Amino acid sequence: MASSWSELAAREHRASVVVLAGGVALYAINVYLTTSLLPNAVADIGGEELYSWTMTVFLVASVISSMLVSLVLSRFGARWAYVAGFAGFAAGTVIAGLSPTMVVMLIGRGVQGLAGGLLVGLGFAVVRTVLPARLWQRSIALMSAMWGVGNVVGPIVGGFFAQIGAWRGAFALLAVIALALIALTFRALPAGSGEASSDGVPWGSLVLLTGAAAAVSIASIVDGAATVVLLVVALAAGAVFVLYERGASNRVLPEMTYRGRSPLRWIYLGIIVLAMVSTIEMFIPLFGQRIGGLGPLAAGLLGAAISWGWTVGTLSSSGAESEKMRRLVRVAGPLILGTGLAAYGLLQVNDPSVWVIVGWYATLLFAGTGIGMAISHWFTAGMRVSTDDAEAAQASAGLNTSQLIANAFGSAIAGVLVSLGGPDVVGSARVLTFGFALLALVGVLVAFREFAAAKSWQLGASAPRERGVEL
């Protein structure tokens, strides 16, 4: 049965949808809001030498909590898991807003990250139990679109409070929103879990994956050989993580990820590719100012073009209901992304004309559309891969973990490519853009590999088709 946006917004689903989307929106808005007001905060409380660590601490904390989503759900249920997430986010935001020094700010950012990673992961895990299956794709599309909303609202709100000299007020506003969502959570979500059981914290996997994320995050703020060494360490830690998980009894990702020809591993990889490429937006405003001579606002809007395209692509492709259309979207998305970035790279020239700059906006918007149309369908594919509640909850939580890890790796790789293309800014822009365009095209190969794995999985002895799973 086909779904519609009006059905998702119906009275019986509205409160649940607001909570799920609100958790993702808080995370996304916070990322871009903090970036826009940090210069003012540093001018007030000092600690410029720790500037880069505000994102490093937040990201690593998010990765850690994203791996604990299934455990938190099994022990506390959807309602109390969300309450803990919103309350923790509010507490971290208050600490950051009241911080007298940068060290205290980092503590607040760490608490924010732990709560934020949990909130984003909960959205993709809880949707299976609070909404009917026919609404999953629409709800996933809505949650994915919140990243685009964050990229627009975050800089505007943060910039406004910074402009009036009241950067702490921006954090206060976020805390109030988080508390309001707590009140809504009690009405919207069930008290029971109905999700997953767990034997405990997967310490081995958590340490290895967190180590990899930390190495990549640090690699993005150091130079030269240290960056290469840290990337190698991160890759080694990631490889050991996979080997460890294959034989572990208590793991982050579901056992079926490593079983036979399971398509789940390719689903995760498809998300990783798209999420890594999306991190190019962190350098787009810099290129706009240095190459095009754009002002801060115009350059910020240029960086937001990818997220706007992401939102457009997500919402416009959410009506793809048949499996054939879902697969077509997952192939077309990375093709559009790679093509758009390649076109943007070709437009990187010294002293660009007005029409060339207009072309920057158009090609980035086009590229972002490719991310949006594909990534939400990868998330839905992961949710449909099993009907077992425990396994499906782990698979859903792994979707978010994959995206957060990819963001960390993507940011570091982007920094490396920018350095390789220097010292000329146009050279940096071209190397980064063409490099990520090639990475985007890898997503096409991943999609076809997942299709083959899904078909083989269906025909196998333990095939999901035999268990009544719709892929």
Encoding tokens for residue 358? Answer: 């207009």
pLDDT value, residue 290: 81
Helix axes 225-247, 203-219, angle to 10 degrees: 160
Rounded average pLDDT over 41-56? 75
If you write DSSP's letter for every residue of 161-180 in order, what string do you get?
HHHTT-HHHHHHHHHHHHHH
pLDDT exceeds cutoff 60 at 466: no
Token pair recorded at residue 89:
């986010």
Q: Which helix (H) or strand (E) holds 115?
A: helix 102-130
pLDDT at 463 over 50: no
CA distance 377 to 446: 14
Cα–Cα distance for residue pair 219/234, rounded to 1 Å = 9
0.75 exceeded by the pTM?
no
**Secondary structure (3-state) at 194:** coil
Predicted confidence at residue 424, as pLDDT, reads 84
Average pLDDT over residues 41-58: 76
**pLDDT computed for residue 261 by the predictor:** 72
User: Six-digit token pair at 132?
Assistant: 């009917």
DSSP string across 339-377: HHHHHHHHT--SS--HHHHHHHHHHHHHHHHHHHHHHHH
352-361 CB contacts, 8 Å cutoff, 24+ apart: 352/291, 352/292, 357/292, 357/294, 360/288, 360/292, 360/302, 360/305, 361/301, 361/302, 361/305
* Integer Cα distance of 445 and 34 in angstroms: 36
Helix %, strand %, coil % for the chain, to 5? Answer: 80, 0, 20
pLDDT value, residue 245: 82
Tell me the mean pLDDT in the region 382-391: 68
Residue listed under structure tokens 């990889």: 269
The answer on pLDDT for 5 being more than 70 is: no
d(C-alpha 457, C-alpha 267), whole Å: 13
Determine the pLDDT at residue 468.
Answer: 38
In the predicted model, is pLDDT for residue 314 greater than 90? no
Average pLDDT for residues 64-81, to the nearest whole number? 82
Q: Can you tell me the distance from the alpha carbon of 405 to that of 233, in angstroms, rounded to the nearest whole number?
A: 15
- The tokens describing 326, both together, are 């879902």
Cα distance between residue 356 and residue 362, in whole Å? 10
State mean pLDDT over 298-327.
78
Cβ atoms of residues 382 and 395 within 8 Å: yes
pLDDT at 467 over 70: no
Residue 436 is predicted with a pLDDT of 95
> For residue 456, what pLDDT band results from cuts at 50, 70 and 90?
low
pLDDT at residue 317 tops 70 = yes
Question: Over 80: is that where the pLDDT of 296 sits?
Answer: no
Let me know the angle formed at the C-alpha of 182 by 181 and 185, rounded to the nearest 5 degrees: 85
Q: What torsion, rounded to 10 degrees, do the Cα atoms 183, 108, 279, 230 define?
A: -140
pLDDT confidence band for 218 (50 / 70 / 90): confident
The burial class, CB within 10 Å (0-12 / 13-18 / 19+), for 242 is middle
The per-residue pLDDT for range 172-214, each reduced to its tens digit, is 999 999 999 998 888 777 776 444 444 566 778 778 877 887 7
- Average pLDDT over the chain reads 80
Cα gap 202→196, rounded to integer Å: 14
Q: So what's the pLDDT on residue 6?
A: 61
Mean of pLDDT values over 378-388? 73
Residue 412 above 60 pLDDT?
A: yes
Mean pLDDT: which of 9-23, 210-224, 231-245, 434-448 is highest? 434-448
